[in-house]
Amino acid sequence: MSKNENVHEMRMQILSLRSAGIACATAIHYFPPCCRPESDRPQCAEARVALKQLYEGMNELLFSTRMALAAVFHPDSEGWDFLWELAEESTCAESDMAKFGQYFYSDQDEYIRFYAGIDSDMMRQLGRGFSDEEWKVLTAKGAWQNGKRLPHVLSLLKYLEDQIAKKFDLFDSGIQSGLLGDCNLGKRIQKKAQAPKLMERQ
């Protein structure tokens, strides 16, 4: 694969991960209260254990995704170098990155609520292009993203997207098995069907 093809793949991967992150935020928003870690409700106890883990995992992935995308769009590579080193040395990259990311994203709940309200047309726009500021950073002369760190960028962004896709697979299997029925999560997901659909590969 040529350098230009790698650069194009990186840009497509950025857009793909952004879409996946928004889908993840939407799904988190629609988790019912009894499936959240802070809940002390006694009903649907069997499902709650699995769903709380899924909820926490999605939150970790959303933190990590936001960190990675913010680092990619920074005009210098210092933040990315730290992030890559953290992920490379980690046994569970998305979890360890998320713990670090919580120091920076105190507005996570607001972010989740905002993206849960995005309609399909706006979602498609966000997933297909870059803002002027983002494009300026990515295409600048000597942009660090297009140099020796390009394989790192591709590797980590693909990893995060794959992890989000696995969480949505758990979503789907839970709905199909009826495990989520007691918690009404299946009904909520079907009502807001665009969240899982966003994970479909284009």
Does residue 7 contact residue 94 with C-beta atoms inside 8 Å?
no
Residue 154 lies in a domain: yes
For 174, residues 6+ apart whose C-beta sits below 8 A from its C-beta are: 47, 50, 51, 54, 180, 185, 186
Residue 120 lies in a domain: yes
Query: What pLDDT digit, counting tens, does each position of 101-150 carry?
Result: 776 666 778 888 887 777 777 777 776 789 889 999 999 999 999 999 99
What is the number of domains present in the chain? 1
Find out whether 104 and 64 touch, Cβ atoms under 8 Å.
Answer: no
H or E segment and range at residue 142: none
pLDDT of residue 177: 57
Q: Residue 121 carries which side chain, given as an amino acid letter?
A: D
Question: Taking all residues of the chain, what is their mean pLDDT, rounded to a whole number?
Answer: 78
Structure token digits, residue 81: 């170098």
Cβ–Cβ under 8 Å, residues 50 and 174: yes
149 falls within a domain: yes
189: tokens are 């997901």
**Domain presence at residue 158:** yes
With cut-offs at 50, 70 and 90, classify the pLDDT of residue 187: low
Structure tokens at 173: 């299997």
Show the domain range for 69: 3-197
Query: Is 136 part of a structural domain of the chain?
Result: yes
